[in-house]
Amino acid sequence: MDAPPPPPPPAITVGWAGDLTPGWSGGLPPAGGRVQLAPVRALLQAPDLMIGNLEGTLTSRGRSKCAGSRARTCFAFRAPPGRARALAWAGFDVLNLANNHANDFGPAGRADTVAALRRAGLRDTGAPGQIARLTVRGVRVGVLGFAPYAHAASLLDLGGARRLVRRAARDSDVVVVAMHAGAEGAGAVHVPRGRERAFGEDRGPTRAFAHTVVDAGADLVLGSGPHVIRGMERRSGRPIAYSLGNFAGWRNFGLGGRLSLSGLLEVQVGADGAPQGGAWRSLRLAGPGVPRPDPRGASAALAARLSRQDFGRDAGLSARGRVLY
């Protein structure tokens, strides 16, 4: 009698949400921050591993980067360290700190943010050379964050990014890269070829970076930063999500039209790193910036259209919001 076939490798579901600001000088969400995330808590708790991009700091220390600034507009985001508990309550597991607001209150603010997350049982990633290593349902996962800033693993250094991803892949079954990249605003929905700039900053070669880390061993690339929806691409059977827009704020994000569209991405990944399915969940920001499920599916429809326009046959999202691979 023939032996039964071996069981399929275990699969885990990885979730991703875009830019999240837990509060700032313009106000803090009530109930310790839970009000901001309560409408989507069930969605955040569904994946085996939920990752988000924390745009801001959890600290009461440090000097604001806006102090003495001559810029016409300057935003520095800070909430009390205890607000990390709301992020854990909502369902997050890992927060990316490779972004332009993680250093709003200098090294002290950044250190306090890391400490606050860890006290709440959350993991952080995004510092130079950092790989957050987790075991999720028996699958070894490495999570890395990149941004074009000195306090983060640099996405401007493609060679360095390649080496760091390869190091993560040596002892991880699944490698997830979060990238904070690209231009910003309502007109930044397309992913251009070449380098992107915003506010006088070199934001890096977004496509080239994503392709580099996939070629080096990343199984899933998750983008944030443009504050609007962007399309998805597939490369070598691996999904690249360039932006899911703003996820949650509190009177700090511009809203209306495309700026109010948001999403939550779920991707099923096998222990061999290969995707096995996934879906884009449409959200819409309401009131001061609170995400709510959008039954009309506006952001998924926009992301699917942009995927076809920007990536053609390599589009990574179907018209029905399913992840292609």
194: which residues sit within 8 A by CB, 6+ positions away? 205
Query: Measured between alpha carbons, how far is 280 from 267 in angstroms, rounded to an integer?
Result: 9
- Please determine, for residue 280, whether its predicted confidence score (pLDDT) is greater than 90: yes
What does the mean pLDDT of the chain come to?
Answer: 96
Query: Measured between alpha carbons, how far is 153 from 130 in angstroms, rounded to an integer?
Result: 7
pLDDT in tens, 68-89: 887 778 899 999 999 999 999 9
What average pLDDT score do residues 129-155 get?
98
Predicted confidence at residue 5, as pLDDT, reads 73
pLDDT in tens, 106-124: 999 999 999 999 999 999 9
pLDDT in tens, 45-55: 999 999 999 99
Nearest to 90 by CA among 17, 23, 40, 30: 40
31 and 291 Cβ atoms separated by less than 8 Å:
no
The model's confidence at residue 26, banded by pLDDT at 50, 70 and 90, is confident
Q: Which CATH class is domain 11-65+73-314?
A: alpha beta
Helix axes 158-170, 206-216, angle to 10 degrees: 30
Which stretches of 32-131 are DSSP H helices? Answer: 34-37, 41-45, 84-90, 106-119
- Please determine, for residue 182, whether its predicted confidence score (pLDDT) is greater than 90: yes
Nearest to 77 by CA among 53, 93, 50, 94: 53
- Please determine, for residue 170, whether its predicted confidence score (pLDDT) is greater than 90: yes
Predicted TM-score (pTM) of this structure: 0.96
